[in-house]
């Protein structure tokens, strides 16, 4: 038991260390800020949807479904966050050789890693269920001590389910890693399908109460069979609560045991080397150093599905929504007058689009992604404009086409005048430039060069966090006049913001060439 | 070729890794850089390569100050750390081509050099495989080939012979001499004193970040051997050399 606790403590500390930037107060603070914001995000989203669904389901006499419904969404959201990380947490540690050489059982090793996954899920899923429980008490069961005990148990044990699903996803991903050729390509496609499912699901999320009413019998049947853990949440007895604990805990332990049986085999497969010895040298083509760096960035990017997944999420979302808008052109035309007309909705569209596009920020982690290979760039004769230019240019290669395509499709879908469409497209492009250059600054100030795997860099580092939310925050600040109720001509305002964001990007770029270069040199 | 003058380097927290170090690695010579673990060898090499910054002293490569003219200095230098991590997502040939692009080596010339050096280290046939699938020794050889194809005027290698098989070590010694014959200079750190004594024209010994001895190998060693000289110097320094 002592060995198991020591392993768990090591894994947990490794997870916390991955969140921080160094062992300084700044690092600890950054970990706290990341956890705080993710927690606040879970509370905010869950609070909004729990009370919205609670009111809707209550009217339909289906309030008892609220908690299982929100728990299901929470577990799926937890899986979304864990999906990519699980493979690395379970199989990607650099300490595998060391751990396996210790006198501890494979089950202890696997269970300690599974508990790390659980703890990661507990932060999000646990906080997600607090507002859901509050809404459930408000609209259904009422407040009672027993209700609070049940909620606490649900909060503690539900994350076992998302950790369990994440572990299975991680196992499949690890298995694919050594069984498949072109693994990155398949993983990227899998992520794309996953995205598509989430996007489609989010389009229909508001119709959930009505869909529940239509299919109540089928839903009840599912909750009593393959969705039993969630079905047990609807029952108030002590027996049901114990059964809930059992159906969460037993599969978790069982999967840990099953995975541990193949643990060494998978690790061996992952470290096995297959060399092809049939290379024939032909004349090598020469490129400029800029193009060489640009191609390197592209290779690094598309070779890491988690990097693609985290930084292209906004782009896929924006393009998907634009295509959906074109397909649903008729419905939009009918709905717009009810919402106050195109002029009233334009600010939300223009700034919402800019905020989503601002999440395409590969540069915010591109220096961290160099990791232990940073010495290659630092010892190379590369002027800062080439070094940083290649990273920024690759970011823009991803974001600018999304901005232009989305502006074109959305303008067509809502019937926006060409001049106004151009203004919005320019605004979005300027935001993309600002984010691409700003991301480099963020990463130079919050580098994470010692991570054992990509997931920790692109999902859990301070620079990744700032890369995603920093741009959105800047766009949010530009939207403030609308919140203050100031009437503005949106296309003209967008044009003014184009100049502002463009100038800010240029200023940051010029500073990058001098101060940024010094900062880069000082990185260790 | 390499001139280090009154160079000092402190890390955050005040630890002084190198203190007022001065030495040269002239053209046409192989210089061995010797010292115990933590003596400051890697720090010095990394600062000279432009990987670490420093504030005290001056390091010049081919007359270019590495702090004020870093691009010019790096253009004529090749540096390899003791455990060179390479881009695992690239194939061997992609990595060599990448380095050749960075150093603007013309197409025909890079093909010739890759054939020569990769052939000599017997890794030509595996250059189509991803670096992630290479063994430690093969990565080491690929890193060496990537340094040699630049045909640098200054070749700096940290713990050169660690991880190399005897055949590769033999080949490498020949290439080091070739660099010098072209008018270049080689500076490498090592713990293998027998090799240093046989191979190096000059020896630089440091202890606790400070210069202890510098000169032609024959002068430094005299009638003794390098190991005895090194241990003697270590004892003089209270055993902390």
The ipTM of this complex is 0.92
Residue A24 is predicted with a pLDDT of: 59
Average pLDDT for residues A287-307, to the nearest whole number? 93
Q: Which residues partner with B168 through β-bridges?
A: none
The Cβ of residue A301 has, within 10 Å, a number of other Cβ atoms equal to: 21
Mutate which of B72, B89, B141 to test chain A, going by most A C-beta atoms within 10 A? B89
Flag if A378 and B87 touch (Cβ within 8 Å).
no
The larger pLDDT score, comparing residue A186 to residue A108, is at A108
For chain B, domain boundaries: 2-76+152-236, 84-151
Residue A441 is predicted with a pLDDT of: 95
Flag if A299 and B126 touch (Cβ within 8 Å).
no
Residue A31 is predicted with a pLDDT of: 66
Flag if A373 and B86 touch (Cβ within 8 Å).
yes
Q: Which residues partner with B186 through β-bridges?
A: B30, B155
Low-confidence ranges of chain B (pLDDT < 70): 237-241
Nearest CB among B71, B85, B97 relative to A381 is that of: B71
Flag if B111 and A281 touch (Cβ within 8 Å).
yes
Mutate which of B85, B97, B101 to test chain A, going by most A C-beta atoms within 10 A? B101
Chain A residues close to B107, C-beta within 8 Å: 283-286
The larger pLDDT score, comparing residue A79 to residue A353, is at A353
β-pair type (B2-10, B56-61): antiparallel
Domain match, A229 and A336 both: no
Domain match, A52 and A188 both: yes
B45 close to A (CB below 8 A): no
Flag if A284 and B125 touch (Cβ within 8 Å).
no
- Let me know if A492 is exposed, middle or buried by CB neighbors in 10 A (0-12, 13-18, 19+): exposed
Chain A residues close to B81, C-beta within 8 Å: 375
A371 close to B (CB below 8 A): yes
Residue A439, helix vs strand vs coil: helix
Residues B209-224 have pLDDT tens digits of: 889 889 998 888 887 7
Residue B141 is predicted with a pLDDT of: 94
Flag if A286 and B100 touch (Cβ within 8 Å).
yes
Average pLDDT for residues A390-404, to the nearest whole number? 97
A384 close to B (CB below 8 A): no
Residue A11 is predicted with a pLDDT of: 77
Instruction: Assess whether pLDDT exceeds 60 at residue A395.
Output: yes
Name the minimum distance, in Å, from the CA of A294 to any CA of chain B: 10
Flag if B126 and A289 touch (Cβ within 8 Å).
no
Show the domain range for A256: 2-271
Domain match, A223 and A297 both: no
Rounded alpha-carbon distances, angstroms, from residue B5 to A257, A274, B25: 62, 48, 12
Instruction: Assess whether pLDDT exceeds 60 at residue A7.
Output: yes
Name the minimum distance, in Å, from the CA of A370 to any CA of chain B: 9
Flag if A283 and B81 touch (Cβ within 8 Å).
no
Does A362 map to a domain?
A: yes
A279 close to B (CB below 8 A): yes
Residues A293/A387, Cβ–Cβ less than 8 Å: yes
Domain match, A439 and A508 both: yes
Does A280 map to a domain?
A: no
pLDDT over 70, % of chain A: 94
Which of A122, A139, A119, A129 has the alpha carbon at shortest distance from A45? Answer: A129
Does A279 map to a domain?
A: no
Q: Which residues partner with B31 through β-bridges?
A: B187, B202
Q: At A367, phi and psi to the nearest 5?
A: -75, -40
DSSP per-residue string spanning A257-287: HHHHHTHHHHHHHHH-----------PPPP-
Domain match, A293 and A236 both: no
Give me the CATH topology for the region B2-76+152-236: Rossmann fold (3.40.50)
Distance between CA atoms of residues B186 and B148, nearest Å: 11
B156 close to A (CB below 8 A): no
Residue A86 is predicted with a pLDDT of: 79
Distance between CA atoms of residues A320 and A194, nearest Å: 13
Residues A130-160 have pLDDT tens digits of: 999 999 999 887 889 999 999 999 999 999 9
B124 close to A (CB below 8 A): yes
Q: At B8, phi and psi to the nearest 5?
A: -135, 150
Residues A329/A413, Cβ–Cβ less than 8 Å: yes
pLDDT over 90, % of chain A: 46
Name the minimum distance, in Å, from the CA of B72 to any CA of chain A: 7
**Residues contacting B37, CB < 8 A, separation 6+:** none
Domain match, A15 and A62 both: yes
Residue B241 is predicted with a pLDDT of: 40
Name the minimum distance, in Å, from the CA of A369 to any CA of chain B: 11
DSSP per-residue string spanning B45-111: HHHHTTSS--SEEEEEETTEETTTSHHHHHHTEEEE-SS----TTSBHHHHHHHHHHHTT--HHHHH
Query: Which helix (H) or strand (E) segment is B5 a member of?
Result: strand B2-10
Domain match, A62 and A146 both: yes
A25 close to B (CB below 8 A): no
Cα of first residue to Cα of last residue in chain A, in angstroms, is 39
Instruction: Assess whether pLDDT exceeds 60 at residue A20.
Output: no
Residue A16 is predicted with a pLDDT of: 67
Flag if B51 and A296 touch (Cβ within 8 Å).
no
Residue B239 is predicted with a pLDDT of: 47
The number of domains in chain A is 2
Name the minimum distance, in Å, from the CA of A521 to any CA of chain B: 6
Longest CA span, chain B: 55
Domain match, A255 and A315 both: no
Nearest CB among A292, A304, A375 relative to B98 is that of: A292
Residues A372/A334, Cβ–Cβ less than 8 Å: no
Structure confidence at residue A60 as a pLDDT band (50, 70, 90): confident
Mean predicted lDDT score pLDDT of chain A: 87
B223 close to A (CB below 8 A): no
Domain match, A266 and A326 both: no
Chain A segment 296-335 residues within 8 A of B by beta carbon are: 296, 299-300, 303-304
Residues A440, A445, A450, A453: what is their CA dihedral angle, to the nearest 10 degrees? -40
A-chain residue closest to B76, CA distance:
A381
Flag if B79 and A379 touch (Cβ within 8 Å).
yes
Residues A319-333 have pLDDT tens digits of: 988 998 999 899 888
Chain B residues close to A295, C-beta within 8 Å: 98
Average pLDDT for residues A420-432, to the nearest whole number? 96
Domain match, A221 and A307 both: no
DSSP class of residue A126?
Answer: I
B-chain residue closest to A287, CA distance:
B101
Domain end, chosen from A236, A271, A306, is at: A271
Chain A residues close to B79, C-beta within 8 Å: 375, 379
Residue B21 is predicted with a pLDDT of: 93
The larger pLDDT score, comparing residue A291 to residue A277, is at A291
Where residue A389 falls (left for φ over 0; alpha for ψ -120 to 50; beta otherwise) is alpha
Distance between CA atoms of residues A16 and B97, nearest Å: 39
């Amino acid at each position: 038991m002592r060995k198991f606790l020591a392993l768990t403590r090591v894994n947990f500390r490794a997870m916390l260390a991955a969140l921080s930037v160094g062992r300084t107060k700044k690092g600890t603070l950054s970990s706290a800020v990341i956890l705080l914001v993710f927690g606040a995000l879970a509370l905010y989203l869950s609070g909004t949807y729990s009370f919205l669904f609670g009111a809707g389901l209550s009217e339909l006499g289906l309030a008892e479904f609220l908690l299982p419904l929100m728990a299901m969404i929470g577990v799926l959201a937890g899986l979304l966050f864990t999906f990519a990380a699980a493979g690395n947490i379970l199989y990607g540690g650099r300490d595998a050789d060391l751990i396996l050489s210790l006198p501890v059982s494979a089950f202890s090793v696997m269970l300690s890693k599974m508990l790390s996954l659980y703890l990661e899920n507990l932060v999000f899923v646990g906080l997600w269920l607090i507002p859901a429980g509050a809404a459930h008490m408000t609209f259904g069961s009422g407040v009672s001590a027993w209700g609070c005990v049940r909620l606490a148990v649900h909060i503690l044990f539900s994350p076992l389910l998302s950790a369990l699903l994440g572990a299975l996803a991680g196992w499949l991903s690890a298995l694919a890693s050594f069984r498949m050729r072109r693994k990155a390509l398949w993983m990227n496609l899998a992520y794309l399908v996953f995205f598509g499912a989430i996007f489609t699901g989010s389009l229909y999320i508001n119709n959930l109460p009505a869909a529940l009413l239509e299919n109540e019998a089928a839903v009840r049947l599912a909750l009593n069979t393959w969705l039993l853990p969630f079905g047990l949440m609807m029952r108030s007895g002590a027996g049901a609560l114990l059964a809930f604990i059992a159906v969460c805990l037993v599969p978790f332990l069982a999967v840990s045991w099953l995975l541990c049986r193949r643990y060494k085999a998978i690790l061996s497969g992952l470290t096995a080397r297959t060399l092809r010895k049939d290379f024939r040298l032909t004349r090598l083509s020469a490129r400029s150093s800029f193009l060489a760096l640009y191609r390197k960035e592209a290779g690094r990017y598309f070779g890491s599905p988690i990097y693609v997944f985290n930084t292209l999420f906004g782009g896929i979302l924006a393009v998907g929504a634009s295509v959906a808008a074109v397909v649903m052109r008729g419905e939009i035309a009918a709905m717009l007058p009810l919402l106050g007309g195109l002029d009233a909705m334009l600010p939300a569209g223009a700034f919402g689009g800019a905020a989503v596009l601002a999440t395409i920020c590969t540069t915010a982690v591109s220096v961290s992604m160099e990791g232990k290979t940073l010495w290659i760039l630092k010892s190379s004769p590369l002027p800062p404009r080439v070094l940083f230019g290649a990273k920024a240019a690759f970011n823009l290669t991803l974001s600018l086409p999304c901005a232009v395509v989305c502006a074109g499709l959305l303008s067509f879908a809502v019937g926006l005048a060409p001049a106004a469409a151009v203004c919005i497209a320019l605004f979005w492009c300027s935001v993309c430039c600002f984010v691409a250059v700003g991301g480099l600054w963020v990463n130079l100030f919050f580098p994470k060069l010692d991570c054992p795997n990509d997931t920790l860099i692109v999902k859990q580092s301070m620079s990744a966090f700032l890369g995603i939310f920093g741009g959105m925050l800047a766009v949010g600040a530009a939207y403030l006049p609308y919140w203050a109720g100031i009437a503005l001509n949106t296309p003209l305002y967008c044009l003014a913001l184009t100049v502002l964001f463009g100038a800010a990007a240029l200023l940051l770029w010029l500073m990058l060439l001098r101060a940024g270069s010094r900062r880069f040199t000082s990185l260790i | 070729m390499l001139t280090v003058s009154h160079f000092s380097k402190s890390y955050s927290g005040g630890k002084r890794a190198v203190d007022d170090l001065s030495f040269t690695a002239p053209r046409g010579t192989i210089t061995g850089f010797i010292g115990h673990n933590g003596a400051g060898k890697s720090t010095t090499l990394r600062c000279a390569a432009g990987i670490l910054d420093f504030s005290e002293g001056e390091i010049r490569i081919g007359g270019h100050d590495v702090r004020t003219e870093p691009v010019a200095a790096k253009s004529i230098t090749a540096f390899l750390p003791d455990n060179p991590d390479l881009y695992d997502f690239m194939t061997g040939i992609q990595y060599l081509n990448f380095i050749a692009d960075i150093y603007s080596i013309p197409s025909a010339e890079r093909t010739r050099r890759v054939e020569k050096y990769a052939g000599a280290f017997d890794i030509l046939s595996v250059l189509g495989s991803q670096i992630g699938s290479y063994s430690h020794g093969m990565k080491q050889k690929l890193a060496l080939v990537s340094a040699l194809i630049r045909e640098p005027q200054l070749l700096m290698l940290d713990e050169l012979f660690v991880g190399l098989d005897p055949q590769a070590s033999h080949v490498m010694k020949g290439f080091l001499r070739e660099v010098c014959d072209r008018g270049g200079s080689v500076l490498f750190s090592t713990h293998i004193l027998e090799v240093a004594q046989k191979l190096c024209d000059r020896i630089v010994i440091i202890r606790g970040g400070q210069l202890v001895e510098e000169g032609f190998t024959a002068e430094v060693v005299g009638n003794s051997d390098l190991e005895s000289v090194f241990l003697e110097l270590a004892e003089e320094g209270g055993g902390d050399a």
